[in-house]
Amino acid sequence: MSALTRASASHLAPIEPYAVQQALIAVSLSASDEPLLRYLNFFSSEIPVGGAYFLHVVAQLEQSSGGASGIYQIKKGVVNKLEEEVHRTLKEGQIVHLAFDIREGNPLEELLKDARDLNADLAIIGQRTDQEKHGILAKNLARKVQGNALVVPAEAPAQLQHILVPLDFSAHSLHALRLALSIRLQLGPRVRITCLHIFEAPNLRFYQVEQSAEELEHVLQKDREEAFEAFMHTYFKDQRDLVEAVTVQQEESSIAEQILSYAQRERADFIVMGAKGHSSVELLLMGSVTEKLLSLNRRFPTLIAKSQSA
């Protein structure tokens, strides 16, 4: 908790019910759009979404015999197809403003540009496990976009009842928990929040200690539990009763694998994780655990909380 201070807690804005002002949705015009749109239909029925801008980016279209007018007709046809698919899937009037576009160029660059131009507070992208390139795009978009990012695996269930928030007591996990509490404030008490803190035990071979491994684990467990309570008392004193705390030692698997295993075992259906901000350096440092989790995740919609939007 070294990056946080008690003084900084007084500067945090009150937690408000979660709503999305402007969403950017990356679509691929492939089979991966179907589960993404289904989940968006569910998500926007639970969370207010003011506007949704759907963007599909393709490599530069070759000039046809029709020249510029031929290219225009191709684009128009693609946009019309996209509009039909969205209107067929989304409940009418659920999202106030809908817009659609097709763009030529580098998918990541164009998505980031439009996210900046729109001042999008949420970027949403699907992730199919059988499409490696699309998985890379999802991870890169989540890393580099300035607002929050929601990555939706193809197998994501249309429910939001149990939010899992991995915590390491950093400023980034502070923002993740604030966002999770904001969602619960919007959806009500039917939503559970579990904070999972995974700690690493030191290698006893390098320490001369009198305690046994079991005794040392007990001491570390107690220390981490006290650290969690101090974290909550400093930043979430009024919300402590809304959060379940789970503190466990790291197993042989990676922390990301352990998070996903816990989520599966405890039937979580939504993960909120912290990420670094959007400075030139932090763009490349989303966090190794978050990066690995996005690479391994096959089921859980994962909301990446960016510092400046929490």
Which domain CATH number covers 27?
3.40.50.620
Question: Is 1 a member of any domain?
Answer: no
Looking at residue 277, its pLDDT comes to 46
DSSP 64: -
Indicate the residue among 122, 153, 184 that finishes a domain.
Answer: 153
254 with 147, same domain: the answer is no
Are 192 and 163 within 8 A, CB to CB?
A: yes
Low-confidence stretches of the chain (pLDDT beneath 50): 1-2, 277-285, 309-310
Looking at residue 204, its pLDDT comes to 56
pTM as predicted = 0.88
Indicate the residue among 112, 137, 153 that finishes a domain.
Answer: 153
In order of 114, 126, 131, 142, 167, the CA distances from 28 in angstroms are 16, 9, 11, 16, 33
- Residue 257: give the domain boundaries: 6-12+159-309
184 with 246, same domain: the answer is yes
Looking at residue 303, its pLDDT comes to 97
**The total number of structural domains that make up the chain:** 2
Rounded CA gap, 150 and 137, in Å? 13
190 with 69, same domain: the answer is no
Looking at residue 212, its pLDDT comes to 66
Token output for 109: 């660059």
Looking at residue 123, its pLDDT comes to 97
149 with 185, same domain: the answer is no
Looking at residue 202, its pLDDT comes to 66
Question: Is 181 a member of any domain?
Answer: yes
Looking at residue 279, its pLDDT comes to 43
Looking at residue 1, its pLDDT comes to 47
Looking at residue 129, its pLDDT comes to 62
Provide the terminal-to-terminal Cα distance of the chain, rounded to the nearest Å: 18
- pLDDT tens digits along 91-130: 988 998 999 999 889 999 999 999 999 999 999 999 876 6
Rounded CA gap, 299 and 154, in Å? 7
131 with 245, same domain: the answer is no
107 with 171, same domain: the answer is no
119 with 183, same domain: the answer is no
Indicate the residue among 101, 128, 153 that finishes a domain.
Answer: 153
